[in-house]
């Protein structure tokens, strides 16, 4: 077999060992209970912060290690995926929301918010989607009306990851409804603000330990100091940051694909039918050969995206390609993996069953496959 293409250096492998030790001790033994609870306890975030697993790119002056290298994020994702800990919202926090604060925040905002994000005392979320607007972000109806020294925020959001645990929520709202995409801004809503409440922790088919919630804003007074980035510049900010989110989802996909391949190889070598291991049947071998080939292609592709992201060269269409292609591949491979496991693949006690339900959302959140293809199509000039 070809060796797995790697972009990691010794320091990334050292970090992997730290992450693995943490996850094996603090997460793996408890995840099943958290799935029943529908949420990961906040203390786990604080412990992860203490172990140095949160917000690597936050500069030292704001309490972080100041290492702007997405390979660390990818290693953490691989280790989380290795144990199937799909409830941890760390990648949303590390890869997506905190970079918004870090990139767009003023010095004062960063001083106020980032140290808690690094220590795990502050958990973050981003609230774009609404009951009436998901793919069509310009259709958001949440409004933030200028009242002099503050904005008055009204509206509701749905499907928000870390929605119950979140202390800071980056909310997409219309500040100038007449101006369409150019009238959208990002506001940071903080836990405890009057009029900010959480709806249901939603009952999902997978990602059972992740708190995905509805959020409600009723006349929330958001001080002007909590405007993130430019007034009416929210759409441009989202377009700038979304490629990173899409590479992050692709790193989850490739890690999940590699795990499914491993699970299936183990199973095919040990499960017997008709007096031989099922891996001895040509069909099983062919399926595994296809999985191994596609896993290799996906890894090369995602490694390239991570390298480009680090160099500031990842463009929107490349990130969209990585997002739709790796997540659709993940869905296909995990489905084939269940088939290899036969009836046991349908049993929740087998990790492949959980990998199957957890995979289904991957082609939907972070922009659906169809939306990614629309974006790529625009770049193709058609
Ligand atoms: C578990 C989970 C976690 C999530 N986390 C977050 C989060 O943290 N923050 C957040 O803001 N959102 C989050 N979401 C929301 C997610 O991003 C949206 O569900 C997603 O963007 C799709 O929006 P929608 O559900 O409104 O579907 P719709 O936009 O209604 O789409 C329905 C179908 O129509 C298709 N479609 C829509 N427009 C087009 C078009 N122009 N061309 C072709 N096809 C089209 C879509 O591809 C899809 O197949 C999460 C969702 C889930 C389930």
Closest CA to 7 of 71, 68, 56, 69: 71
Q: What ranges do the domains of the chain cover? A: 10-122, 125-232, 235-379
Whole-angstrom distance, CA of residue 282 vs CA of residue 295: 20
Q: Identical fold at 125-232 and 235-379? A: no
- Centroid of chain to Cα 147: 34
Q: What is the pLDDT of residue 1?
A: 83
Which residues does ligand 1 sit against, CB inside 6 Å? 125-129, 134-135, 159-161, 204, 207, 212, 361, 364-365, 367-368, 370-371, 374
Kindly tell me if the per-residue pLDDT of 276 is higher than 90: yes
Whole-angstrom distance, CA of residue 263 vs CA of residue 280: 16
Closest CA to 127 of 137, 113, 117: 137
**Those residues with Cβ within 8 angstroms of residue 232's Cβ, 6 or more apart along the chain or in another chain:** 175, 176, 179, 182, 183, 184, 185
Take residue 357 and report the two structure tokens written for it.
Answer: 């339900």
* Contact present, 369 and 363 (Cβ < 8 Å): yes
- Centroid of chain to Cα 291: 24
- Mutation probe of ligand 1 site: the residue of 89, 123, 368 with most atoms within 8 A of C-beta: 368
Longest Cα separation, the chain? 78
Take residue 158 and report the two structure tokens written for it.
Answer: 């749905």
Q: What is the pLDDT of residue 214?
A: 98
Whole-angstrom distance, CA of residue 30 vs CA of residue 47: 14
* Contact present, 195 and 221 (Cβ < 8 Å): yes
* Contact present, 95 and 245 (Cβ < 8 Å): yes
* Contact present, 265 and 257 (Cβ < 8 Å): no
| Lookup result for tokens 């339900």 | 357
Whole-angstrom distance, CA of residue 106 vs CA of residue 188: 12
Minimum CA distance residue for ligand 1 atom 43: 370
Question: What's the start-to-end Cα distance of the chain, in Å?
Answer: 40
> Domain 10-122 belongs to what topology?
Butyryl-Coa Dehydrogenase, subunit A; domain 1 (1.10.540)
Whole-angstrom distance, CA of residue 250 vs CA of residue 273: 36
Q: What is the pLDDT of residue 2?
A: 87
The pLDDT mean for the chain works out to 97
**Predicted confidence (pLDDT) per residue in 124-183, tens digit:** 999 999 999 999 999 999 999 999 999 999 999 999 999 999 999 999 999 999 999 999
**Predicted confidence (pLDDT) per residue in 193-238, tens digit:** 999 999 999 999 999 999 999 999 999 999 999 999 999 999 999 9
The residues that are catalytic are 245
Q: How far is the CA of 320 from the centre of ligand 1 (A)?
A: 15
Torsions phi, psi for 185 (to 5 deg): -135, 165
Minimum CA distance residue for ligand 1 atom 30: 134
- Of the CA atoms within 13 Å of residue 339, those in its CB half-sphere come to 11
- Mutation probe of ligand 1 site: the residue of 39, 97, 365, 371 with most atoms within 8 A of C-beta: 365
**What DSSP line would sit under 236-268, residue for residue?**
HHHHHHHHHHHHHHHHHHHHHHHHHHHHHHHHH
Q: How far is the CA of 128 from the centre of ligand 1 (A)?
A: 10
Q: What is the pLDDT of residue 86?
A: 97
Q: How far is the CA of 159 from the centre of ligand 1 (A)?
A: 9
Give the CA angle between residues 305, 252, 32 to the nearest 5°: 165
Give the CA angle between residues 291, 77, 359 to the nearest 5°: 50
pTM: 0.97
Of the pLDDT bands very low, low, confident and very high (cuts 50, 70, 90), residue 272 is: very high
**Predicted confidence (pLDDT) per residue in 32-54, tens digit:** 999 999 999 999 999 999 999 99
Whole-angstrom distance, CA of residue 192 vs CA of residue 180: 30
Torsional class of 371: left (φ above 0), alpha (ψ -120 to 50), beta (otherwise): alpha
Whole-angstrom distance, CA of residue 34 vs CA of residue 23: 14
| Lookup result for tokens 């739709």 | 324
Helix (H), strand (E) at residue 321: helix 316-340
CATH 1.20.140.10 fits 235-379, yes or no: yes
> Domain 125-232 belongs to what topology?
Butyryl-CoA Dehydrogenase, subunit A; domain 2 (2.40.110)
């Amino acid at each position: 077999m070809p060796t797995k293409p790697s972009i990691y250096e010794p320091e990334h492998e050292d970090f992997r060992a730290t992450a693995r030790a943490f996850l094996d001790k603090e997460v793996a033994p408890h995840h099943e209970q958290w799935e029943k609870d529908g949420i990961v306890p906040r203390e786990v975030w604080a412990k992860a912060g203490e172990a140095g697993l949160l917000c690597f790119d936050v500069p030292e002056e704001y309490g972080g290690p100041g290492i702007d290298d997405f390979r660390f994020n990818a290693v953490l994702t691989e280790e989380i995926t290795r144990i199937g800990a799909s409830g941890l919202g760390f990648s949303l926090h590390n890869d997506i929301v905190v970079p918004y604060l870090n990139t767009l925040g003023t010095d004062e905002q960063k001083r106020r918010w980032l140290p808690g994000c690094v220590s795990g005392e502050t958990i973050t979320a981003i609230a774009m989607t609404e009951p009436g607007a998901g793919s069509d972000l310009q259709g958001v109806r949440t409004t933030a009306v200028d009242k002099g020294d503050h904005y008055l925020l009204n509206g509701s959001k749905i499907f928000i990851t870390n929605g119950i645990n979140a202390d800071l929520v980056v909310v997409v709202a219309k500040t100038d409804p007449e101006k369409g995409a150019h009238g959208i801004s990002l506001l940071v809503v903080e836990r405890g603000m009057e009029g900010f409440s959480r709806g249901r922790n939603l009952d999902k088919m997978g990602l059972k330990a992740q708190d995905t919630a509805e959020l409600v804003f009723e006349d929330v007074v958001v001080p002007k100091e909590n405007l993130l980035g430019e007034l009416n510049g929210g759409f441009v900010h989202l377009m700038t940051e979304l490629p990173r989110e899409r590479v992050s989802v692709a790193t989850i996909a490739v890690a999940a694909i590699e795990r499914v391949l491993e699970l299936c190889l183990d199973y095919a070598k040990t499960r017997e039918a008709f007096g031989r291991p099922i891996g001895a049947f040509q069909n099983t071998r062919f399926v595994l050969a296809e999985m191994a080939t596609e896993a290799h292609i996906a890894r090369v592709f995602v490694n390239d995206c991570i390298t480009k992201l680090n160099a500031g060269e990842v463009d929107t269409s490349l990130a969209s390609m990585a997002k739709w292609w790796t997540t659709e591949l993940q869905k296909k491979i995990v489905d084939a993996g269940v088939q290899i496991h036969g009836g046991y693949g349908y049993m929740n006690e087998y990790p492949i069953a959980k990998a199957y339900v957890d995979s289904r959302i991957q082609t939907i959140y972070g922009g659906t496959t169809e939306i990614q293809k629309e974006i790529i199509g625009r770049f193709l000039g058609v």
